């Protein structure tokens, strides 16, 4: 989470009958925006107004309390430090007094309430934007409307993986630099009326965009027929090193060969399937192997069962339990169209193995 003195400007304060007041703070910062002190001697204005008023509530903290008046409208509230002789001693915020409030918040995609998000999985090559909507408590249309809210990282696992969450904004752009899983929360700050919303986000490694071979064996030790030591670098949004276990001739011949086999050490960092990876390969500087630049690899790995989830039936009848099977990649027909499972018995696609006293059988 951001440091306690991270800038958190209050550009707009909304009040209503459901939320009649809110605290704001007068903070002194230097020319670079760094926290310097709280304003302990602050003149707040307006002190008298039919829309909203503001008064000092905790001077040592620079705290002022804004309270709604009897008129639904907009007014400017300001705070001025009168003690430190600052070159720019004042700041202000817009206060909007509304005839309604929001019962709950909802995180969405595509800036539309039609796309609510409870969880989001994305890879580190991608960017995503989350938006927040508020549900009006007066029953008027539209029931849901765009609002600005406070975004927070619930879990420390997301810190430094994505940009610090905005203190008051309608949207939050996610551009992860590494893998992580955690929750993002939206609230109206200290508001105790509006129900907040949470979304679980999971950042997985992005597929390789290109692959490069680097020969580690010195030229003086590169002898035909011997195993060469090399490293393969897979580049996505981040860099991943995958090492070749061995690089040998495909045929058992004493002379030069036109085909080489590369055996890779298993890449087991990150809970992400790799059967659909189609890297672009570049090979340079390896004796007896012609240089290759940007060669797209063919898909040599079929889909495999990636995860199996069994959900017990609430009726207690095991025959009604639900089993969900996730494959490591999408399956398509030979013409490229989506493969449909409807009407096909699971037994025609999957073998289910059972553990018995003598081993496994299906």
- Over the stretch 44-100, which tens digit does the pLDDT of each residue have? 999 889 999 999 999 999 999 999 999 999 999 999 999 988 888 999 999 999 999
Closest alpha carbon to 194 in 68, 106, 102:
102
Cα of 354 vs its chain's centroid, Å: 38
Q: Are 279 and 311 in contact (CB under 8 A)?
A: no
pLDDT given at position 326: 74
pLDDT given at position 11: 75
Cα of 170 vs its chain's centroid, Å: 16
Q: How far apart are CA 291 and CA 112, in angstroms?
A: 50
Cis peptide before 46 (omega within 30 of 0): yes
Closest alpha carbon to 175 in 222, 129, 118, 110:
129
User: Which stretches in the chain have pLDDT values below 50?
Assistant: 1-3, 239
* Residue 125 main-chain phi, psi, to 5 deg: -85, -10
* Residue 157 main-chain phi, psi, to 5 deg: -60, -20
Q: Are 306 and 361 in contact (CB under 8 A)?
A: no
pLDDT given at position 197: 95
pLDDT given at position 359: 76
pTM of the model: 0.51
Residue with tokens 């306690």: 4
pLDDT given at position 204: 86
- Over the stretch 104-120, which tens digit does the pLDDT of each residue have? 999 999 999 999 999 99
DSSP 70-118: SS-SEEEEEEEE-SS--SS-EEEEEEEE-S--EEEEEEESTTSTTSB-S
pLDDT given at position 106: 96
pLDDT given at position 46: 94
pLDDT given at position 1: 39
Q: Are 329 and 307 in contact (CB under 8 A)?
A: no
**What is the per-residue burial (b if ≥16 Cβ within 10 Å, else e) of 37-46?**
ebbbebbbbb
Beta pairing class for 197-204 and 119-123: parallel
């Amino acid at each position: 989470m951001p440091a306690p003195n991270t800038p958190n400007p209050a550009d707009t304060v909304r009040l209503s009958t459901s939320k009649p007041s809110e605290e704001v703070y007068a903070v002194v910062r230097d020319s670079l925006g760094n926290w310097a002190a709280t304003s302990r001697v602050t003149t707040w204005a307006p002190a008298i107004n039919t829309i909203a008023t503001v008064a000092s509530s905790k001077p040592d903290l620079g705290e002022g309390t804004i309270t709604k008046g009897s008129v639904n409208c907009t007014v400017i509230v300001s705070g001025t430090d009168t003690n430190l002789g600052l070159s720019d001693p004042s700041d202000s915020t817009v206060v909007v007094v509304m005839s309604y409030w929001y019962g709950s918040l909802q995180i969405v995609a595509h800036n539309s309430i039609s796309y609510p998000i409870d969880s989001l999985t994305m890879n580190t090559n991608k960017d995503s934007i989350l938006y927040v909507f508020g549900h009006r408590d007066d029953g008027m249309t539209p029931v849901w409307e765009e609002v600005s809210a406070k975004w927070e990282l619930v879990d420390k696992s997301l810190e430094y993986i994505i940009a610090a969450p905005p203190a008051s904004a309608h949207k939050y752009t996610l551009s992860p630099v590494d893998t992580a899983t955690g929750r993002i929360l939206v609230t109206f700050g200290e508001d105790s009326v509006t129900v907040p919303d949470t979304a679980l986000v999971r950042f997985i490694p992005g597929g390789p965009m290109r692959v490069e071979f680097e020969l580690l064996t010195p030229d003086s030790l590169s002898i035909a027929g011997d195993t060469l030591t090399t490293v393969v670098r897979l580049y996505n949004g981040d860099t991943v090193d995958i090492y070749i276990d061995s690089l040998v001739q495909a045929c058992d011949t004493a002379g030069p060969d036109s085909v080489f086999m590369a055996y890779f050490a298993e890449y087991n960092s990150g809970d992400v399937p790799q059967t659909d990876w189609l890297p672009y390969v570049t090979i340079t500087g390896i004796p007896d192997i012609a240089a290759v630049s940007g060669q797209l690899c063919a898909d040599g790995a079929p889909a495999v069962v990636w995860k199996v989830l069994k959900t017990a039936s609430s009726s207690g009848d095991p025959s009604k339990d639900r089993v969900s099977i996730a494959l490591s990649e999408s399956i398509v027909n030979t013409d490229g169209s989506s493969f449909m499972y409807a009407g096909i018995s699971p037994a025609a696609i999957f073998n289910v193995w059972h553990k018995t006293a003598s081993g496994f059988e299906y």
